[in-house]
A and B are shown apart, each in its own frame.
Chain A
Amino acid sequence: MVAVIALAVGVVLGLVFEPSVPLALQPYLPIAVVAALDAVFGGIRAKLDGIFDDKQFVVSFVSNVLVAALIVFLGDKLGVGGQLSTGVVVVLGVRIFGNVAGIRRRLFRA
């Protein structure tokens, strides 16, 4: 319940402030979103598995976002930013799908 409220608060904050992202940070935004989604789905699955841990969740979120941003930053510096972004999205996407499959198995037994 707290989780849903917190998520809603975040959405409302975003809607109210409508922050404009500086140009330099724009390439990192989609990557950060995917990384955050990965952390969130991982957390949901852990919750359903009964092994959710707050510290683990926070750390995985922060590290996911930071590492993803770092990889894209390095890629930009090396001239392969686009490819590395794709790589990050693929890896995180696979993890998200795997976690969603786990959630699905938990919820629907299918």
Chain B
Amino acid sequence: MTTAPARRRPSDFLTEMFRNPLDPGYAEAARRRAERGPEPAGRQVTGRFGRAVVLAATGFLLVVAYHQTVAAQPESSRVRAGLVTDVRDRQRDADRLQQQADQLRDEVARERDAALAAAGTDAGQLSRLELATGTSKVRGPGAVVRLADGPPQVDPVTGKSQPAKYGAVLDRDLQDVANELWHDGAEAIAVNGERLTATSTIRTAGSTILVDFRPISSPYQVSAIGPRDLDRRFTDSRTGQRFHAYVSAYGMQVSVDRRDDLTLPAAADPQLHYAQPVPGASPSPSGGSPVPSRSGGR
């Protein structure tokens, strides 16, 4: 392949390419040189210079391509890492502020109780009202209903997985669970640590479920304080059976556990701007029962 003046017509392109990968131009140039003798010195210098330029260009290209692929990769992950730390920082800040708010709330409650006691008023009535409205921490026996999205669907052709379509937990599901728990005699309910009150909402924004405008994510944990057989009542209810069917049909993960001692956090004080108490109406809840109605928490 070096001696023959390879100018045959290639029988088969691929075979030819595999057999003789060198440009036939080199051989031809060598033959020309052999016929005409060496080139003048000026052209040789130009040739040298061209060769050097081409090689420099090759090195340049290699480095640029290397930078493009390797150095560009960390940049995107760097941006992502920065965002992640940002989110973590904010979460820590929010947690700290939440703790501070809890402490201050406790302090306010203590001061208020002291002030009420000093004024000779019954502080117990207020705490009972707080219990009913969900603005104080409560503990007691109850049940925990855990819901989690079903397994992601895997496309059999491409192997890509996408989020569960039918087994995903929707805001409706959480509403149904909460309603059923109220119906079964629950006295206090929290979803992923967000206490439900009379002004609570459970709704969807995009694909995220918001409880009182705070985003929560799977697995969802609905804790309820109520009668000791709350878990059995829930499981036997029609809602409970429906969720049982979801497990077998869509792969949603549902579990109901009894708890002997649950502590539910306090809800934030509702900011009421427009509602005014009706003058002369009795401030005490009707019948003195702290059990909210079934539609409570919607």
A residues contacting B by CB (< 8 A) are 2-3, 5-11, 13-15, 18-19, 21, 26, 29-30, 32-33, 36-37, 39-40, 42-43, 45-46, 49-62, 91, 94-99, 102
Contact = CB atoms under 8 A, between A and B. Distances in A.
Contacts of A36: 57-58, 61-62
Interface stretch (B26-34, B108-116, B200-208): B26-34
A51 B2 contact: yes
Nearest to B29: A53
A69 to B, nearest CB: 12
12 contacts: A7-B56, A8-B59, A10-B57, A13-B56, A13-B59, A33-B65, A51-B30, A56-B25, A57-B54, A98-B17, A98-B22, A102-B1
**Which of A30, A42, A51 has the most chain B CB within a 10 Å cutoff?**
A51
B172 interface: no
B60 A95 contact: no
A13 B216 CA distance: 52
B48 A2 contact: yes
Contacts of B67: 14, 18
B contacts with A: majority SS: helix
Given A8-B59, A14-B64, A30-B65, A51 B54 contact: no
B21 A55 contact: no
Nearest to B13: A91
Given A6-B51, A36-B57, A94-B17, A60 B63 contact: no
A97 to B, nearest CB: 8
B23 A42 contact: yes
Given A3-B52, A18-B67, A11 B22 contact: no
Contacts of A37: 58
Given A3-B55, A53-B26, A13 B60 contact: yes
Contact of B52 (A2, A40, A53, A59): A2
Contacts of A10: 55-63
Contacts of B26: 42, 46, 49, 51-53, 56
